[in-house]
Structure 1
Amino acid sequence: MKRFFPHQLQILFLGIAFLMLIVACQQAPQADSSPTPGTPVAQTSAKSVQLAPLPYDYAALEPHIDAQTMRLHHDRHHQSYVDNLNKALAKQPNLQNRTVEQLLRDLNSVPEDIRTDVRNNGGGHLNHTMFWQIMSPQGGGDATGAIAQEITKTFGSFQQFKDQFNQAASDRFGSGWVWLVRNSNGQLQITTTPNQDTPIMDGSYPIMGNDVWEHAYYLRYQNERAKYLDAWWNVVNWNEINRRYQQSLNQGI
């Protein structure tokens, strides 16, 4: 019969104990991970506004809009609107099931302590989300499709529309946006808004818009806003603008 020395017995017993521990852990019932009734549950990411990636590369709109401007504009400016909006909405969990559009259409229903934050940051998020989509590396040229016919009918010609649109953008003092909207009377109209206000706050549907905040163009064009406005038409995505035009008709605006 084989004899075990004390140090061998100690190792043997430790091994047996370790195996028993493993078996016990495997057989133990799993703890219920569901929250206890009445325990607050943190809001999930689905409740938070998210920043979508650009639908093209940062450099895709060059030379008209440079890659550095696109990177700073999207990754920093737009991201800050998203972060600040989520921070504001965290104070009012009952609002987190409403869309950004719903909040902006009925700002007076938003509690006063976060109303300005929702207006500025919700508008910034909504405006920029549209902005990235109505530009394209394959964009530019004259308007096409149904929106082209409606523009000619309303403004006389596409060139007259461009001239009026650019003039309105040049006349917007300080920071803001220039828009082509379908207004509450169902008519196309060129309008501008200050800061990050959106036309939906006035009951209009924004079909297209150009950002005339300096951060949208200053690295490439410095203080020459007019040059930026002229160059921007080379990246306008008429397919997306026609989609938005049709959506404005479908919504009865």
Structure 2
Amino acid sequence: MPVELPDLPYARDALHPHLSAETVALHHDGHQRRCVEAVNTLATGTDLEASPLEDIVRNSQGALFEAAAQAWNHAFYWQCLHPRAGGEPHGRLAERIAQQFGDTARLREEFNHAAMAVFGSGWAWLVQHPDGRLAIVATRNAATPLTGDSTPLLACNLWEHAYYTDYQNDRARYLQAFWKLVNWDFVSARLR
């Protein structure tokens, strides 16, 4: 069964004014769609041809891994955003953040620092390690925590196509907008 491009969980213009409909369309309908198409082409005739996307990411290498990881990372990223989101986390997630970082402001500061330190394209993540600790990690290109032991909770896409149309090369302004869209309910639901 081929991998399919998942629908966005909201309308293309729903993230405006923080992300424009043009950026969302370029990102989802263009880049992410090409990754999904590449996965289907590259997986054809392999042992992974009928596998779910997560299994392809975990069990592939080379070009197939790059396409599958990018397809998965993008689908995850859209879930991390919501038009009526932002604000502050609550409940168990807020408690974990306070334990690990002191408060949400400190989490944002450390996350932004990691995101700004990525040279070129990549991702910034909030993850939960198997021992329950939260951590911030940055990955280059298509790399993803999905291939390790930690559970991805939150992702920020640092590829230029994610923000160039709206913010040019000003990644710091994009990060400010990102925090206004973070879907804390989705992040909280992923806690173990």
With structure 2 as the length reference, what TM-score do the two structures score?
0.95
Distance 1:144 1:186 in 2: 17
Tell me which residue corresponds to 2:68. Answer: 122
Give the 3-state SS of the residue equivalent to 1:189 in structure 2: strand
Q: Does 1:98 align with 2:51?
A: yes
Q: CA deviation at 1:145?
A: 2.6
For 1:208, the equivalent position in structure 2 comes to 154
Question: Which fold has the larger relative contact order, with Cα–Cα distance below 8 Å and residues 6 or more apart in sequence?
Answer: 2
Instruction: Give yes or no for the alignment of 1:170 onto 2:116.
Output: yes
Task: Confirm or deny: 8 A CA contact 1:105 1:203 kept in the other structure.
Answer: no
TM-score, normalization: structure 1? 0.73
Asked whether the 8 Å contact 1:82–1:122 carries over to 2, the reply is: yes
1 CA distance for matches of 2:56 and 2:43?
11
The number of residue pairs the alignment matches comes to 192
Unaligned regions of 5+ residues in structure 1, if any? Answer: 1-46, 108-114
Q: Greater share of helix residues, 1 or 2? A: 1
Q: Percent identity?
A: 38
Residue aligning to 1:64: 18
* Partner Cα distance (2:19, 2:168) in 1: 12
Q: Deviations over 1:96-149 (max 9, x none)?
A: 232222232334xxxxxxx21221111111111111111111101111232111
1:227 to 173, 185, 188: 173
- Residue 164 of structure 1 aligns to a residue whose secondary structure is helix
Runs of 4+ in 1 over 6 A off after TM superposition: none
- Residue 73 of structure 1: aligned partner: 27
- The aligned counterpart of 1:51 is 5
CA distance in 1 between counterparts of 2:98 and 2:44 reads 46
Q: Which amino acid aligns with 1:61?
A: L
After superposition, the CA RMSD in angstroms is: 1.2
